[in-house]
């Protein structure tokens, strides 16, 4: 590309810009008379006017400029937009470049094609009011602000030739996730990864007032972004010289692409990269209605959403809308028979280079991982209950080998906790990525590392979203108590995934995988603030079969779970497991078999024809349940107990299991015997699934985390939440028939275990740790 733009190119860009703006406005307002062949009438206007006009012209302006570069000198270029409901402008540009037609055959460059796109925007069973999975070339749900920049950075990881231009609105820039995402340039080595060109779009206003960034001076913004590690370039619209912005923007983009290329060549010279970014100032609602009834619209918050909202019922507003739409002279740019003006067509890239057709944004070429044999990492479980299993240690060793076999498309994202979470074996084959200055004594850090650590779960979630949605594999590992900070992001991703699964042209993508460890049951040393299983509770609300939550009972079952997680596609998988040394219960083959069947009876802890059924989901609560079985068998040798375990919950499958497959359910839990569940999370999570059980739900007792915690001991956490072995013994005796254990014997045993609970409290207050009876307990039936 030449260093400067020509006047001829400016003329072409202005034509394209006019066309995109008209098509945007047409989508928001018109349900007929799309080419204004006659005077607008009230019935031409949609009954509901939806969409956000204010940000749309800026989106289209950047799109037009990128098209000019892409048509003259094609590159691996993607455009990621974070400005919320600016979708009609994205759709207008996808229509212009014919990407939309590739996926929706009715979106042709004809009058009927314009009708199809305009009529169906924000229309029932049409196109949504914001970016969504139905939109080609989109990897970012447009409903919630804040995630564009981290998603863009995730998309370029291990895609060295890719450049993602990311447009961030100044409203979005106020969000916490965006604030931390500016730092992600410090993890992106220019040589082994692609590049992100952030464009901060300052139109100055939100729904009803000014933005913070919009009121900052250029000097303040320059200082801020230099401090973030960027080289900021400023482009501002001047109403006295309106064409000048095309020259300025051309120069800024040209310089940025040139600088990105230079940084790749300098990357190994030890230079700290200050990557380019653009601050673009344009009026809110640019090219729209300047003023109406004395209210300033363009360049003010009043243009944020829909201008002249009563155009369907108010003739003066209808006239203002018509004057505005005619100002674009769309009839000069489009012919119902010939299509768009030849100048406009000249800057539309060839289909293979169109922004909406970027192969990464469509996960083209995504492959399955090469996975190691889990038997090589397994522990001997011949004798159930043998002490020596650590789920996270087993998983860490396994992930080390996953990295060995998959050097280009697998990553681990974690807050500053890879060591704490016992996953540090991965550092035998990779490093923590860090591009900025490093000290000689830094540990396991390097410019090309495949582990990214940052104390911002928001940024890590966005990175992994961008990485997965472009066809690669990864894991986000976090403390269980703190991952709820990304619950809203996970919800948005889950919605995106649910819709994507029903779109035929969406390619299959790897699963989004979480590891949640340092759980509330073993955060007794940090206290109540670190004790929270709320994330899984929220994810269980997802409707569908694409969310799987894994609760391995030991290290071997953790291996089977992580293997299945990394095999699955198009799903969200959550592994919830501890990192302490605990008993071994299953071989890896037994765990694999149990994952296929869901729930399973553990024969080594079960009797035939049980009087009561014990069942647990989660590692620490499983140990308590098995200890309770051991105590009960000692106290009442004739008592028959069955133990049922689950390593995985998929709420859709589980609900069907509880209801539609009652025979299978009763085969495990009997049709009429009392059942006690010990659950890792909130009891209500399981209770809500049992509501539709056709049998007698009164026979079920569900225990779990009931929001009781403190800085205490690990066993005291179980006592505080009524999940301890002592509590389970007391509960079981309450539920067992008096014909099996007489009342007097029940009460005697219960008093004994109530005293144990009381004595335990006194002991830990005096000694600070759990007694040997708990600490050194081993399984013996």
DSSP string for 578-608: --S-EE----HHHHHHHHHHSEEE-GGG--S
Task: Determine the longest span between alpha carbons in the chain, in angstroms.
Answer: 99
Of 352, 321, 316, 224, the C-alpha closest to 277 is: 224
CB of 483 within 8 A of CB of 457?
A: yes
CB of 547 within 8 A of CB of 571?
A: yes
Domains and CATH numbers, the chain: 7-360 (3.40.50.970), 374-583 (3.40.50.970), 602-775 (3.40.50.920)
DSSP-assigned states of every residue in 253-265: HHHHHHHHHHHHH
What are the angstrom distances between the C-alpha of 123 and each of 27, 28, 47, 116, 427?
A: 10, 10, 10, 11, 51
CB of 721 within 8 A of CB of 705?
A: yes
pLDDT of residue 389: 83
* Bridge partners of residue 469, in order along the sequence: none
pLDDT of residue 663: 75
Between CA 400 and CA 426 the distance in angstroms is: 4
CB of 376 within 8 A of CB of 88?
A: no
Between CA 455 and CA 688 the distance in angstroms is: 34
CB of 63 within 8 A of CB of 17?
A: no
Q: Given the structure tokens 């923590």, which residue do they identify? A: 432
Question: And the tokens for 122?
Answer: 């924000």
Q: Which helix (H) or strand (E) holds 495?
A: helix 487-500
Between CA 578 and CA 480 the distance in angstroms is: 10
Helix ranges restricted to H, 169-211: 176-181
CB of 23 within 8 A of CB of 117?
A: yes
Between CA 412 and CA 460 the distance in angstroms is: 9
Task: Calculate the dihedral angle through the C-alpha atoms of 312, 316, 317, 323, rounding to the nearest 10 degrees.
Answer: 110
Between CA 172 and CA 86 the distance in angstroms is: 12
Question: What are the tens digits of pLDDT across the range 182-220?
Answer: 999 999 999 999 999 999 999 999 999 999 999 999 999
- Residue 621 burial by CB count (10 A; 0-12/13-18/19+): exposed, middle or buried? buried
- Residue 240 burial by CB count (10 A; 0-12/13-18/19+): exposed, middle or buried? exposed
CB of 84 within 8 A of CB of 130?
A: yes
Low-confidence ranges of the chain (pLDDT < 50): none
Between CA 648 and CA 591 the distance in angstroms is: 11
DSSP-assigned states of every residue in 659-718: TTTHHHHHHHH-SSS-EEEEESS-HHHHHHHHTT-SS-GGGEEEE---S---SS-HHHHH
CB of 559 within 8 A of CB of 374?
A: yes
Question: And the tokens for 668?
Answer: 């495990």
Contacts of 220 (CB under 8 A, 6+ apart): none
Between CA 772 and CA 752 the distance in angstroms is: 18
Between CA 717 and CA 719 the distance in angstroms is: 5
Contacts of 240 (CB under 8 A, 6+ apart): none
């Amino acid at each position: 590309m030449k260093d400067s733009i020509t006047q001829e190119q400016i003329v072409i860009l202005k034509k394209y810009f006019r066309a995109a703006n008209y098509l945007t406005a047409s989508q928001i307002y018109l349900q007929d008379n799309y080419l204004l062949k006659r005077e607008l009438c009230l019935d031409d206007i949609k009954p509901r006017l939806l969409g956000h006009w204010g940000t749309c012209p800026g989106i289209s302006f950047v799109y037009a400029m990128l098209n000019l570069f892409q048509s003259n000198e094609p590159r691996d270029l993607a455009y990621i937009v974070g400005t919320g409901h600016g979708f009609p402008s994205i759709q207008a540009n996808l229509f212009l470049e014919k990407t939309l037609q590739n996926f929706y055959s009715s979106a042709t460059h004809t009058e009927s094609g314009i009708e199809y796109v305009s009529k169906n925007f924000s229309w029932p069973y049409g196109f949504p009011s914001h970016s969504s999975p139905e939109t080609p070339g989109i990897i970012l749900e447009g409903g919630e602000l804040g995630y564009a920049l981290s998603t863009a950075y995730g998309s370029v990881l291990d895609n060295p030739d890719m450049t993602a231009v990311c447009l961030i609105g100044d409203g979005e820039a106020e969000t916490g996730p965006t604030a931390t995402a500016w730092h992600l340039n410090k993890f992106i080595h220019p040589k082994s990864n692609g590049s992100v060109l952030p464009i901060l779009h300052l139109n100055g206003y939100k729904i009803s007032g000014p933005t913070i960034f919009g009121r900052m001076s250029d000097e303040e913004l320059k200082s801020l972004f230099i401090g973030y590690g960027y080289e900021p370039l400023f482009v501002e619209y001047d109403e006295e010289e309106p064409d000048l912005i095309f020259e300025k923007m051309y120069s800024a983009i040209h310089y940025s692409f040139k600088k990105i290329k230079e940084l790749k060549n300098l990357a190994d010279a030890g230079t700290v990269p200050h990557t380019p970014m653009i601050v673009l100032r344009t009026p809110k609602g640019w090219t729209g209605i300047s003023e109406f009834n004395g209210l300033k619209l363009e360049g003010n918050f009043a243009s944020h959403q829909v201008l002249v909202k009563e155009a369907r019922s108010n003739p003066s507003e209808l006239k203002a809308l018509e004057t505005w739409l005619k100002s674009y002279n769309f009839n000069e740019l489009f012919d119902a028979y010939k299509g768009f003006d030849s100048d406009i067509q000249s800057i539309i890239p060839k289909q293979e280079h169109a922004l909406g057709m970027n192969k990464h944004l469509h996960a083209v070429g995504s492959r399955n991982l090469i996975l190691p044999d889990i038997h090589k990492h397994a522990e001997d479980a011949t004798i159930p209950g043998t002490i020596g299993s650590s789920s996270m240690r087993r998983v860490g060793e396994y992930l080390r080998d996953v990295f060995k076999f998959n050097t280009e498309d697998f990553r681990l994202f974690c807050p500053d906790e890879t060591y704490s979470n016992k996953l540090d074996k991965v550092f035998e084959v990779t490093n923590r990525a860090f591009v900025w200055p490093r000290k000689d004594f830094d540990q396991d850090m390097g410019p090309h590392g495949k582990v990214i650590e940052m104390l911002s779960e928001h940024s890590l979630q966005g990175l992994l979203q961008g990485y997965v949605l472009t066809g690669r594999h990864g894991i986000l590992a976090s403390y269980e108590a703190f991952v709820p900070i990304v619950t809203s992001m996970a919800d948005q991703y889950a919605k995106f995934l649910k819709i994507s699964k029903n779109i035929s042209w969406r390619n299959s993508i790897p699963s989004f995988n979480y590891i949640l460890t340092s759980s509330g049951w073993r955060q007794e040393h940090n206290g109540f603030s670190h004790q929270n299983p709320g994330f899984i509770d929220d994810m269980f609300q997802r409707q569908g079969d694409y969310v799987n939550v894994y609760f391995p009972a030991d290290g071997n079952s953790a291996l089977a779970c992580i293997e299945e997680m990394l095999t699955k596609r198009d799903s969200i998988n959550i592994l919830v497991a501890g990192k302490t040394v605990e008993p071994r219960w299953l071989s890896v083959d037994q765990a694999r078999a149990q994952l296929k069947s869901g729930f399973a009876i553990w024969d080594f802890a079960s009797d035939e024809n049980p009087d009561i059924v014990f069942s647990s989901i989660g590692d620490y609560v499983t140990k308590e349940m098995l200890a309770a079985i051991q105590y009960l068998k000692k106290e009442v040798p004739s008592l028959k107990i069955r133990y049922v375990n689950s390593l995985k919950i998929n709420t859709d499958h589980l609900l069907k299991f509880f209801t539609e497959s009652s025979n299978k359910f009763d085969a495990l839990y009997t049709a009429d015997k009392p059942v006690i569940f010990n659950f890792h999370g909130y009891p209500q999570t399981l209770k809500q699934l049992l509501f539709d059980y056709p049998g007698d739900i009164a026979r079920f007792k569900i225990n779990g985390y009931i929001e009781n915690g403190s800085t205490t001991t690990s066993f005291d956490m179980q006592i505080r939440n009524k999940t301890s072995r002592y509590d389970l013994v007391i509960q079981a005796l309450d539920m067992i028939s008096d014909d099996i254990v007489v009342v007097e014997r029940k009460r005697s045993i219960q008093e004994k275990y109530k005293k144990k609970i009381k004595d335990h409290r006194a002991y830990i207050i005096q000694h600070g740790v759990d007694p040997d009876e708990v600490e050194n307990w081993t399984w013996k039936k």
